[in-house]
Every structure is written in C-alpha cells, then in structure tokens.
C-alpha cells in the first residue's frame, strides 16, 4: 500500500442566522477573554500522562466501534461500490466537538464515541497523537474561525491542549483548500467549492498514511487477474502477485471468511477480511467483526502464494445522513454547543474525502524472511469483495477501514462463468491465471475489455480459466 489520505471537516454555523458576522471584518480572530467558567474536570486526569496499553486498547476498541457503525450506515451500491473512511479522523473531529458540547449533546456525543464509560477520554484520545509520531501516520488538525465570531476561550485552549488544533482566521476558500492539499501531500485538491457565509467555525483534521510493506511485491510479477464481483460478474484488475509471501492467515468458520494481516514497516498492518464465496457478503460480516479478537487468533506467519489487487480508489461523502442514522441527528438541528459560544450553533456539514492506493511499493524485502520449502502450496488470493482495516498494532486502533466490492469501478463488468463460484474454491483460481495469461498474452486485453454482447464467446477466454490444479 502506498497512500491513504483522509479528511473530516465539521462546519458549524450560527442557527437561524440573521445577524451577519460581517465577513472581512477588520479585527482578526479575537476569541474575547470572556468569563472563564471552565469547570474543573470531574476526574483529575492531569497528573497521569502515560496511559497504560490497556487504556489505549480501550480507546482503540471505541474507535473501532465507531467505524463499524459508520460502515453499517453508509450505502454500498453500484454507484458507490467502495467505502474508505478513517474512524480515527472522525473520532478526533467528534471528540473535539464534544469539548464544546454541553448537557444532552455532550452525553450523546460521548455515547456515539463509545467513550461514556472511559475515564479521561480526551486525555487518552489526545494522547494518541504523540503515539502516532512513531508510526507512518501523520495527523494534522486545525480550527478555522470566522473573524468577528465570538468563541469561548476555554474551547480554544482545550482544543489546542488536547487535540493540537490551532485556531486560524477563516479568510477564503482558497486558503482552506491549500491547507488541505498540503496536509494530504497534494492528494486532495479543491476540497471545497465554497464556504457559505454563515459558517463561523470549521473543525478540520487530515490523516495521511504512507506505509511500506514489510515484504514488497515485485512490480514485474503484477499482471491482469480476475476479481469476482458476485456469482455472475467479474472485472479484470491488476493483481500484485508473490509466490512466497509471509502472511498470517486464518479461515474463520464463524465469520465464514478468510482473514489475513499484511504487515507494514513501522508497527501498522493491513487486515483483510474476505468472505468465502457462496456464503455471506461483506456487509453481513460487519456486525461480528472484532479486530482485537482476530489479531489474537491469527496464527504465526507462514510463507504462501499471495495475490492482492492493485487499486487506487477515491471516496467523497457528506456524512450527515449516516451520522443521523447513528442517532446524532440533533447535531444538525439543535445541539447544545454552549461550550463553544453563547450563540446557538448547529453543525451544517461533515465532509469527508479519502483515497487509498495499494501498490507494490515497499522497501527491500525483509532479509530475515525465511523461505521455507513448501510441501503444499497454500494460496491467498484477494479476488472477491473484502473488508479492510489499517490497524495500529500497539493500540489496535483502526486508522482506516473500508469495504471494497469493486476494485476497478471504471472497468466494465463481464459475466463470470467460472464453474467454481459458490464452491469455495475461488481463491485457488489465480494459480491458473498465470497460465491463461501466457496463452492469451497477445489478445487477452482485447477480449477482456471489449465484450461482444451478442456472441459473448470472447468473454470465455477472459474469465474462464481452463483446468485447475487443485
């Protein structure tokens, strides 16, 4: 995997706005040193800066639940066959909002964050930021304030102390987009078309991940392969292939899925959960997914043959609908955000954009990889819809999660007439793909991409491998 980028933006505006916060007001950001009625925290968390790994795991589990819930509430369909999101990024944004929420709204937010039973929540969640400096993850946060908007100093101070979110005057959309582009290393340009004049506060964070496989894939070995969308259809994708790849692989009878963990350098790993063909689909596996449980049960690394699609996917989504389904609808109608300002505020949008790229890249293969002599070739071929999670190994926090049902949405699907679909042998297909590719080398491209709708016979050579080793 090369890159993962994501951004969550919470826009707040004054409710029932009639008074104009006069954009372009000369006085730049003066958060008015008003009454500092910051009540002391119920718990005293300040003395305790080093949190135990158990506490961090608890936060990781809370972030995982948030991510799973969101995945469940986002549609997967033909138009949007893939979802990529960062539960971590959303958790940071909602946690920061929680700092300014009061009364029912605060309770509701803590509940959605699964933080209502976690002591010192903001301290531990915020403490993840320095922790991630030891990984390949970059998190950037920032708070845009409309000049003239009166914000409580305590909110600004807490946001800075806990979430390193610096206040910056909201000037124009170009400046915001420039920051987004920079924080995502150029991968999300033109994030916003415009900023409505009634938006007075924007809470933003950007997460950037660039990981190097511990064991790289050889670009020379990448070739066309088949990805089975369902029992009827497949698409042609670029498959990264390795004949000898060290992998922790588990076939889970309860999930009815194959589960594998691909390690990156720097203590993160990519978890892939691929339901077995003929069983359940990716969405129906979601309710039972439990990352820490799976990591506990994954066996030791074993060298095997691995096929992984090379993908580059983008996802942009306004999350209001999904968050409303999760019970956070009142954020958009009438929340109590009196910790941010005396003006009645509401959330106008939660914007989210992400891209993911899986590629061969990685530094040289680990020299310690033992190439065992293999008596029987086992194979893990990621060639049907799967769930993924990019996991921080220390805290088991899902940094990113997603569902991929079509890794090549721009390619035309073709009928899949593989006789083994639904018979549990899908994953063994690719052994023969190489053979087939060699046979059809000269014309496979044409027959794969240009399906004859009448004849259909040309499809055969593309999707139906002949002969099966197992």
Ligand X SMILES: *[C@@H]1O[C@H](CO)[C@@H](O)[C@H](O)[C@H]1NC(C)=O
Query: Which of 16, 75, 119, 130 contacts ligand X by CB under 6 A?
Result: 130
Interface mask toward ligand X for 237-266; x: CB under 6 A: -----------------------------x
- Within a 10 A sphere around the Cβ of 178, how many other Cβ atoms? 13
- Minimum CB distance to ligand X, residue 157 (Å): 16
What minimum distance in Å lies between the beta carbon of 22 and ligand X?
A: 25
Cβ-based nearer residue to ligand X, 80 or 281 = 281
Q: Toward ligand X, which CB reaches closer, 27 or 77?
A: 77
Closest CB to ligand X among residues 142, 146: 142
Helices (runs of H) and strands (runs of E) counted in the chain: 13, 16
> 88 near 399, Cβ under 8 Å?
yes
Residue 118 as a binder of ligand X (CB under 6 A): the answer is: no
Residues 360-399 that bind ligand X (CB under 6 A): none
Return the residue matching tokens 């993840």. 128
Token pair, residue 65, equals: 């639940």
Check residue 57 for interaction with ligand X (CB under 6 A): no
Listed in order, strand segments (DSSP E) in 185-341 are 199-210, 223-228, 233-252, 257-263, 268-275, 302-309, 311-318
Block residue for tokens 């910790």: 339
Q: Give the nearer residue to ligand X in terms of CB position, either 77 or 193.
A: 77
Residue found under tokens 């040193």: 33
422 interacts with ligand X by CB under 6 A: yes
Q: Which residue is nearest to ligand X (CB)?
A: 47
Total of chain residues touching ligand X, rule CB under 6 A? 33
Is 284 an interacting residue with respect to ligand X (CB under 6 A)? yes
Residue 467 is a binding residue for ligand X (CB under 6 A): no
Site for ligand X contains 104 (CB under 6 A): yes
**Residue 342 interacts with ligand X (CB under 6 A)?**
no
52 is a site residue for ligand X (CB under 6 A)? no
Distance CA 288, CA 24 (A): 51
Which among 281, 271, 273 is positioned nearest to 229, based on CA atoms? 281
**445 near ligand X (CB under 6 A):** yes
- Give the number of other CB atoms < 10 A from CB of residue 150: 16
- What is the C-alpha to C-alpha distance for residues 171 and 184, in angstroms, rounded to an integer? 20
Task: Say if CB 308 and CB 217 are below 8 A apart.
Answer: yes
By CB under 6 A, residue 466 contacts ligand X: no
Q: Which of 162-170, 252-260, 285-293, 452-460 is the region at the interface with ligand X (rule: CB under 6 A)?
A: 285-293
Per residue, what are the HEC states of 294-329?
Answer: HHHHCCCCEEEEEEEECEEEEEEEECHHHHHHHHHC
SS3 270: strand
> Is residue 430 at the binding interface for ligand X, with CB under 6 A as the rule?
no
Contacting ligand X within 292-321 (CB under 6 A): 292-293
65 binds ligand X (CB under 6 A): yes
- Residues 73-102 interacting with ligand X (rule: CB under 6 A): 76, 102
Residue that the structure tokens 């936060």 belong to: 59
Number of neighbours of residue 149 by Cβ within 10 angstroms = 25
Binding residues (CB under 6 A) for ligand X: these are 40, 44, 46-47, 61, 64-65, 76, 102-104, 130-131, 134, 179, 182, 266-267, 280-281, 283-284, 290, 292-293, 336, 338, 419-420, 422-423, 445, 449
């Amino acid at each position: 995997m090369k890159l993962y980028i994501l951004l969550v933006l919470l826009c707040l505006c004054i409710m029932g706005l009639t008074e104009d916060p006069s954009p372009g007001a000369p006085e730049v950001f003066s958060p008015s040193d008003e009454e500092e009625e910051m009540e002391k925290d119920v718990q005293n968390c300040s003395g305790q800066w080093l949190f135990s790994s158990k506490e961090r795991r608890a936060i990781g589990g809370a972030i995982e639940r948030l991510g799973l819930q969101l995945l469940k509430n986002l549609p997967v369909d033909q138009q949007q066959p893939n979802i990529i999101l960062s539960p971590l990024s959303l958790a940071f944004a909602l946690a920061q909002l929680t700092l300014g929420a009061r009364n029912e709204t605060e309770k509701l937010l803590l509940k959605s964050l699964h933080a209502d039973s976690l002591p010192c929540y903001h301290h531990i969640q915020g403490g993840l930021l320095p922790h991630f400096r030891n990984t390949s993850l970059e998190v950037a946060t920032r708070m845009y304030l409309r000049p003239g908007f009166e914000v409580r100093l305590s909110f600004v101070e807490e946001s800075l102390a806990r979430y390193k979110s610096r206040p910056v005057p909201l000037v124009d959309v170009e400046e915001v987009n420039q920051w987004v582009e920079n924080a995502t290393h150029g991968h999300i340009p033109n994030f916003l078309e415009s900023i409505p004049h009634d938006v007075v506060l924007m809470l933003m964070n950007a997460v950037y991940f660039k990981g190097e496989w511990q064991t790289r894939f050889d670009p020379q070995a990448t070739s066309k392969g088949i990805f089975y969308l369902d029992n009827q259809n497949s698409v042609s994708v670029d498959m990264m292939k390795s004949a000898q790849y060290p992998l922790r692989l588990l076939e889970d009878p309860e999930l009815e899925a194959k589960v594998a963990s691909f390690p990156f350098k720097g203590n993160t790993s990519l978890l892939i959960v691929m339901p077995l063909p003929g069983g359940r689909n990716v969405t129906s596996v979601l309710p039972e997914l439990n990352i820490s449980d799976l990591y506990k049960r994954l066996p030791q690394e074993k060298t095997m043959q691995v096929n992984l699609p090379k993908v580059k996917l983008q996802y942009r989504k306004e999350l209001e609908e999904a968050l409303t389904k999760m019970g956070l609808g009142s954020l958009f109608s009438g929340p109590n955000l009196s910790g941010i300002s005396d003006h009645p505020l509401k959330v106008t949008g939660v914007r989210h954009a992400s891209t993911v790229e899986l590629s061969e890249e990685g530094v040289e293969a680990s020299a310690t990889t033992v190439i065992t002599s293999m008596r029987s070739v086992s194979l893990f071929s990621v060639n049907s819809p799967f769930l993924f999670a990019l996991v921080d190994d220390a805290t088991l926090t899902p940094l990113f999660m997603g569902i991929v049902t079509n890794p090549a949405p721009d390619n035309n699907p073709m009928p899949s007439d593989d006789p083994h679909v639904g018979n549990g042998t899908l994953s063994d297909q690719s052994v023969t793909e190489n053979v087939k590719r060699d046979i059809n080398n000269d014309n496979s491209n044409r027959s794969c991409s240009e399906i004859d709708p009448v004849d259909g016979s040309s499809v055969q050579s593309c999707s139906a491998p002949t002969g099966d080793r197992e």
